[in-house]
Amino acid sequence: MESTDPYRPGRAHTSRTSPVVPAIYQTTTFELDDRAYEDIQGTGGLHETWYSRFSNPTVQAAADDIARLEGAEHGLMTASGMAAIATTLVTLLRAGDTLVASKQVYGDTGDLIERDLPGLGVTVVRVDAFDTEAWRRAIAEHAPRVVYGETLSNPQLRVMDIPSIAEAAHGAGATVVIDNTFATPFCTRALDLGADVVVESATKFLAGHSDVIAGSIATNDGALIEEIQRRIITFGGSLDPHAAFLVWRGVRTFRVRLEEACRVAVELATAMAEEEGVTAVIHPSRSDHPDAGAVVDRVMPERRGAMLTLVLEGGDERALRAVRSLRVAVEATSLGGVETLASLPFNSSHFNMSPEERLEAGILPGMLRLAIGLEGVEVLLDDLRQAITSSG
């Protein structure tokens, strides 16, 4: 007889319908069965769903969709982009190994490379990301276990020659890890170019709505993905199911969002090059881009990205006045949302560098980075023009 005790917890019901949108499995644990016990004994619980720190259907749905975008057989989600980067590198590297990495990386990635990995006994060699010969020399000399770089640099938007560097790395037996956050799989499928692992801050263009923090890892190496998964579980970097659902929702509109944002970025780059007070426009679509030609054509063959960098006459003070005069674009860090975001390297992403260090890194006074959203060309063009004019 069914219990009438109102305090007896009910069981979750399994739907017999086929929902278009996947369920959010907002649960810490799942009912155990023989298959779960068998997997726990055999793999430590990597393959069956039994506890959400190990795996969760909502999280895996997002991971699978991102893996398809990246052209990968396997995917994982993490609690942030940095969790994806750190867990991948710690999985691949051991004391005594060498990492050859780009000098031009995200700030927190730089901290991980310069501060944390050496403390684990890893030797770190840094090279200019856009000097392919320097990569080859460093790889040949140091025989690294891992080679690490970013498809597009921030905020210079330089393009890394992934195919050439991956070829040299594989010749030395190294694993190639690429952070593809700025380019996204819409513009660059790094695995097709020779990368072994692609990491992204899914917070950005993949999720696309500035409302969730998440990271993704994609690879064709099944054994490696299991090792990374073990460390996500151990380090506690698992993604929450509701956050995973928000990422999944963003991935559903990824193609149309990126198609529009990339198109608008090209048009804005063309228009801003003619604007008084703008001394430089940096976008991979332009013929005056330092990597235009073979590198851009190989790495970003059809689409050139939704990031745009301007350099304003009058330096950082004028750039700050211009940003504060924007009426549509928002002064904020991050990128990849439906709203256009504007930020200044000197007081945000590269604030901890001296003016001389920024200049040496190619970060010029007056640099203004734009992450293009979905407001449309004319709206953004009018906004930028009035902000630049009012700041002069």
Q: Please give, one letter per residue, the 3-state secondary structure of 87-118.
A: HHHHHHCCCCCEEEEECCCCHHHHHHHHHHHH
Domain with 71 in it: 34-252
CA 321 to chain centroid? 29
Residues 267 and 227 in one domain: no
Q: Is residue 7 part of a domain?
A: no
pLDDT at site 11 = 60
Instruction: Please report, for the domain that includes residue 381, its CATH number.
Output: 3.90.1150.10
Whole-angstrom Cα distance, residue 43 to residue 236?
Answer: 18
pLDDT of residue 4: 64
Domain assignment present for 19: no
pLDDT of 198: 98
**Residue 29 belongs to a domain:** no
Per-residue pLDDT of the chain (392 residues; tens, 9 = 90+): 555 666 666 566 566 678 888 899 999 999 999 999 999 999 999 999 999 999 999 999 999 999 999 999 999 999 999 999 999 999 999 999 999 999 999 989 999 999 999 999 999 999 999 999 999 999 999 999 999 999 999 999 999 999 999 999 999 999 999 999 999 999 999 999 999 999 999 999 999 999 999 999 999 999 999 999 999 999 999 999 999 999 999 999 999 999 999 999 999 999 999 999 999 999 999 999 999 999 999 999 999 999 999 999 999 999 999 999 999 999 999 999 999 999 999 888 877 778 888 888 888 999 999 999 999 999 999 999 999 999 98
Give how many domains the chain has, as a whole number. Answer: 2
**Are 202 and 272 within one domain?**
no
Q: Which of 189, 222, 252 is the last residue of a domain?
A: 252
- Residue 108 CA, chain-centre distance (Å), reads 13
Q: Is residue 27 part of a domain?
A: no
In a domain, 22, yes or no: no
Same domain, residue pair 277 and 138: no
Do 46 and 179 lie in a common domain?
A: yes
Same domain, 46 and 101: yes
CATH, residue 183: 3.40.640.10
pTM of the model: 0.94
- The helix (run of H) or strand (run of E) holding residue 282 is strand 278-282
Do 147 and 283 lie in a common domain? no
Q: How far is CA 268 from CA 103, 259, 370, 372, in A?
A: 29, 14, 10, 9
Residue 14 confidence (pLDDT): 61
Do 275 and 374 have their domain in common?
yes
Q: Are both 163 and 216 inside the same structural domain? A: yes
Sheet strand arrangement including 123-127: 74-78, 215-219, 197-201, 175-179, 146-150, 98-102, 123-127
Please indicate, yes or no, whether residues 289 and 242 belong to a single structural domain of this protein.
no
The confidence score (pLDDT) of residue 349 equals 84
Choosing from 234, 252, 270, the residue where a domain stops is: 252
Do the domain assignments include residue 103? yes
- Single out the residue of 275, 280, 262 nearest to residue 156, CA to CA: 280
Query: Domain check: are 245 and 350 in the same one?
Result: no
Structural domain contains residue 166: yes
The answer for residues whose C-beta is within 8 angstroms of residue 214's C-beta and 6 or more apart is 62, 77, 78, 79, 80, 81, 201, 202, 203, 206, 207, 239, 243, 244, 246, 247
Query: Is 214 part of any domain?
Result: yes
Q: Does residue 247 share a domain with residue 355? A: no
Nearest to 213 by CA among 109, 337, 116: 337
In the listed set 187, 218, 252, which residue is the last one of a domain according to the structure? 252
pLDDT attached to residue 347: 85
Same structural domain, 80 and 221: yes
